[in-house]
Amino acid sequence: MKLERSDLWSLEEYAEERESFRSAVIAHKKNRQVFLGPHATLYFEDAMTMKYQIQEMLRVEKIFTRAEIEEELEAYNPLIPDGSNWKATFMIEYSDVDERREALARMPGIEHKVWVKVGDAERVYAVANEDLDRSTDDKASAVHFLRFELEPPHRLALKEGAQVYVGIEHDVLPYEVEVPLNVLASLQGDLV
């Protein structure tokens, strides 16, 4: 499902809805994140998380013209799953700025090493940063946008209750974890 202008509140309407919508989104996001060790997290996106992102951008930037709203929709709609994939924001998180800079310098290309595994199938590696290149040969970016394309056999295995694992296959930040059941239940709603 892609968002349209009619799915959004006006600035005035959003001012009234913001508190309750924000609470609902925070609760929703708890079922859409997977921690990949102490320094990385996958935040799985969907129409609700993107609506919140757009509404906040419109609010902060005081955007209200049709053309500007359409630009925001164009920017964020690609981050909404389209029925055959999961889309996620991959964040590499270090609280200390110097430690983060040093770590990112040791992990160029990490965004191409993030994977999901459904049941006994082969790992599905992320398609990273389709909007623009975020890493250089010298360092990784702290934020990446990933797409995990799931073939029909993956989706069937999910419906049949297959376990799902996610991980990073990178020397600097290797990690593997089973997707918690609450997150998996939420992610199954992204697929047809």
What's the pLDDT tens digit per position in 120-159? Answer: 999 999 999 886 655 556 678 999 999 999 999 999 999 9
**pLDDT digits 0-9 by tens, 39-52:** 999 999 999 999 99
Residue for token pair 């955007």: 63
The answer to whether 90 and 143 have CB atoms below 8 angstroms apart is yes
Cα 177 to Cα 3: distance, rounded to the nearest angstrom: 32
- Phi, psi dihedrals of residue 60, rounded to the nearest 5°: -65, -45
Name the CATH topology of 37-44+83-192: Immunoglobulin-like (2.60.40)
| Closest residue by Cα to residue 134 from 101, 110, 170 | 110
Domain boundaries, the chain: 1-30+47-80, 37-44+83-192
Closest by CA to 140, choosing from 109, 166, 171, 170, is 109
pLDDT for residue 186 is more than 90:
yes
- Residue 164: strand pairing partners: 118
DSSP labels for 3-27?
--GGGSPPHHHHHHHHHHHHHHHHH
- pLDDT value, residue 82: 94
Nearest alpha carbon to residue 191 among 161, 146, 149, 160 = 149
| Among candidate residues 164, 191, 189, 168, the one with its CA nearest the CA of residue 178 | 164
Position 136, amino acid: T
What is the mean pLDDT of the segment spanning 106-118?
A: 95
> Which of 123, 130, 116, 32 shows the shortest CA–CA distance to 77?
130
Question: pTM here?
Answer: 0.91
Element of type H or E holding 151: none
Residue 18 has pLDDT above 80, yes or no: yes
